[in-house]
Structures are given as structure tokens and as C-alpha cells.
Amino acid sequence: MLYHIYAMTIKDLKILLKDRAGMAILFLMPAMFILVMSVALKGVFEPGGNDTPVRLLVVNQDRGNLAAQAISDLEALKGLEIVREVDGRTLNREEAERLIVDGDYRVALVFPPDFTDRVERSATDEDAGPAEVFLIADPASSTSFLAPIRGTIVGIVERRAEIARAGIRIEASISDAASKLPPEQATALKEIGRRISKAMAEDSSIQSSWLKVEVVAPAEFRVKRFPNSVEQNVPGYTIFGVFFIVQTLATSLLREKQEGTFRRLLTAPISKSAILLGKLLPCYLVTLIQVTLMFGIGVVAFHMGLGHAPGALVAVTLATGLAATGLGLMVAALGKTPEQVGGLSSLLVLTMAALGGSMVPTFVMPRFMQVLSRLTPHAWALEGYQNVIVRGLGFSSVVPDVAALLGFAAVFFGVALWRFRFD
């Protein structure tokens, strides 16, 4: 019995090893997935590290000195890259918003002109209202990305503001008391108050919970509220699911070859292009149904918003479906065995999804991976959906994304038709 088991094992090993490409893909797929995900997730588990610092635009419009002091404290923190100038010019709010809209940065901190004045007035005037700072963020940024940035800013700015307020309150109280004393005693008491106020201003140990930090989107984005997790996640996972049509399509075409269906069809008065289109069209329609169904679930079950440009969503969906079916045809043309087709499909789909932002937001990845993500159709499809659903933009915003997706589709179909064999 043991001999029979040994003989069967050796036989099957020889069969497996004969398909060298299939075996190589079998080992390459998990290795690539581990590599991509480990590097991509570095920014999630090591936020603000030396390799992945958070780049924060800072606009200082404050006429006083408190904002400058807070910015100096922020610059001393590790893991934050404070950007106050771009191309040699000091940033203003409009330029900071433009950089966020263009996708060069994700977040900006803006100190208004009256920041110091409102901090100082609030120390002695209860009706003065709180001092405000603005955190301008791309709505596509996740809460997990913005929360630690906001917390850091609140801690630093609050401390500076509260130190200033405490010193002003003490000096005002002592001055009020001194006004009721003889002149010689009043002078001494005021000097004591001045020194205490100065010491308070230099003390960095005071903590408080006083400040209003308002998180807003750039004015160009038509966003009434920041999107929830559904509006951020549904597009990414929908794209991830759509590209699984690659394996279904490639496996189906390979089966047709192995069973001789294509050979029989070639004897009929049907062109090769008609045969391929007949095989591709059902899969293409399935991708469109997938997107419609997934978005429909998001709208009905989670009240997901779809933005203001339904035509833009349709254009991105049509182009994404073409890229997915084109990739499936290419895999079918390159794979020669079921093992090769299955392994190559999984390798491409999982790696592209991880690199393209469907699994991990690209903005937390190292910069070189953000550049590489643009080599995947997933990144362009996700950007298109986010421009409409999350950022509230119109049709013109998705034109570059649709063009890129059509370019991917053209390349995939071109390689597939070059290498495809009907027998």
C-alpha cells in the first residue's frame, strides 16, 4: 500500500512539475501579494514614520505670533513634514486648496488673520467666542488618516493658545487688584504679574481642551459633508470584484479551446472577431451588472450618495468593464493550462487591487508605490468614482480617468489578439 501511495505521489509530482509556468505562478502569487501589501501597509502601521512622513501644508495668515509659535512646535515633531512654501512662494489658502484639488497633497492647516487676537480677547471676554483654525482635507482621505493629524494639531495649538490666555488672565487679575492699592505697592504687584505671565508663556506643560478645529473640504469640491466609510469603501471593493471576471473569462476561453469548440465554430460562416465578441460581451455585461448591483446595495442599505454627475459614473463604469474584460482575454491568450490561467489571473487581480488602492488607500503608501499605482487600471477607476461620489465633481473630472482606462483596455486587447490562438 505504501508503495502505491509513493508511486502515485511521484507520478502527480512529475505532472505538476511539467507545467513549469503554472508552478512558478503558484509560488510567485503569494510572494508578490505579501511584498506589495507589506510595503503598502507600512504607512498604516507606521504613520508619520521617517520613511512615510505626513506632508502637511501650512498657511499662516495670523497677524500675531501665536500661530508662528504653534507652527514651530509642529516642525519639531518627527513624522510631520511641514510645507510652508511651494516653488519659492509662501502659501496662501487658495494655493493650498489648489494643491489638494490637484492631488499633490491631502491636507492643509490654515490659521486665520485674527487667530492671536481672538485667543487673547477670549482670555478676558467670555463673549469673544473661540479661536478657530481650519483643517482643509481631501474628502477621499479616511478618518483613520485625518484623526491623528487633527489630534496632533489640536494638542499643539491648544497648548499655545491656553498658555497665552492663562498669562493674560493672570496679568489682568493682578492689574485689577493693583488698581486698589497704593501706588508704590501697585507697581510691585504689577511687576510680579508680568513675570508670572512671562513664565506661563514659556511653560510647555500646560494642557487644555480649548480650541475649535474645523475640518473642511476645498471650496472647489461640492461636498456638503465629509463622506462616510460606505462612500469611500464601496467603489474600491466594487472595482476589486469587477476584475475577478478575468479568471472567469480566461477559464471559459481555455475550456473552449481544449474542448475543440473554437475549431468547430471556425467551420461555420462566422468571423473570428464575431466569435470573440460573442464570448466577451456576456462577461462585459456581467461587469456592468456587478457595478450596478454593488452601488445599488450601497444606496438602498447604507444611503450612499452618488454625487451630482450620473453620466460620469456611467462613463467610468463602461471603461472599467472594458479594461477588465480586456485583461481576461489577455490572460486567456497567455495561459496554456488551467493552472497557468488560474494562477496568472489571481496574481494580476490581487496585485493590481492591492497596488491600485482597492485594498489600501494609495495616500498611505510610500511615494514610489503611489507612482506605481498609476500603472494599474484600478487606481484610475477608483479615482474616477471618488471624484464623483466623494469629491462631488462633474463629468470633466473623470475624463482623464476614462481615457486611461480605455488605454489599458486597448493594450490588453492588443496583446490578447496578438497572442490568441483558436486551437
Q: At what angle do helices 377-389 and 229-242 cross, to 10 degrees?
A: 150
Is it the case that residue 166 has pLDDT exceeding 80? no
HEC letters along the chain: CHHHHHHHHHHHHHHHHHCHHHHHHHHHHHHHHHHHHHHHCHHHHCCCCCCCCEEEEEEECCCCCHHHHHHHHHHCCCCEEEECEECCEECCHHHHHHHHHCCCCCEEEEECCCHHHHHHHHHHCCCCCCCEEEEEECCCCCHHHHHHHHHHHHHHHHHHHHHHHHHHHHHHHHHHHHCCCCHHHHHHHHHHHHHHHHHHHHCCCCCCCCCEEEEECCCCCCCCCCCCHHHHHHHHHHHHHHCCHHHHHHHHHHHHHHHCHHHHHHCCCCCHHHHHHHHHHHHHHHHHHHHHHHHHHHHHHHCCCCCCCHHHHHHHHHHHHHHHHHHHHHHHHHCCCHHHHHHHHHHHHHHHHHHHCCCCCHHHCCHHHHHHHCCCHHHHHHHHHHHHHCCCCCHHHHHHHHHHHHHHHHHHHHHHHHHCCCC
Select the highest-mean-pLDDT range: 170-174, 227-231, 359-363. Answer: 359-363
Q: pTM for the complete prediction?
A: 0.75
Percent of the chain with pLDDT over 70: 71
pLDDT(275) > 50: yes
Taking only the tens place, the pLDDT of each residue in 358-379 is: 887 887 777 888 888 999 999 9
Q: Which CATH architecture group holds 47-216?
A: 3-Layer(aba) Sandwich (3.40)
| Ranges 94-98, 215-219, 359-363, 388-392: which has the least confidence | 359-363
The yes-or-no verdict on residue 211 having pLDDT over 70 is no
pLDDT at 325 over 50: yes
Q: What is the pLDDT of residues 247-274, one digit of tens each?
A: 888 888 888 777 777 777 667 777 767 7
What per-residue confidence (pLDDT) applies to 397?
Answer: 92
pLDDT band with cut points at 50, 70 and 90 for residue 204: very low
Give the pLDDT confidence of 1-50 residue by residue, as tens digits: 666 555 655 655 565 556 565 555 555 555 555 555 555 555 544 445 55
The per-residue pLDDT of the chain, averaged, comes to: 77
Residue extent(s) of CATH 3.40.1710 domains in the chain:
47-216
Q: Which pLDDT does position 88 carry in this prediction?
A: 83
pLDDT of residue 203: 45
User: What is the per-residue pLDDT across 101-124, written as a single tens digit (0 to 9) for each?
Assistant: 888 888 999 999 988 888 777 666
What pLDDT, on a 0 to 100 scale, did the predictor assign at position 224?
Answer: 67
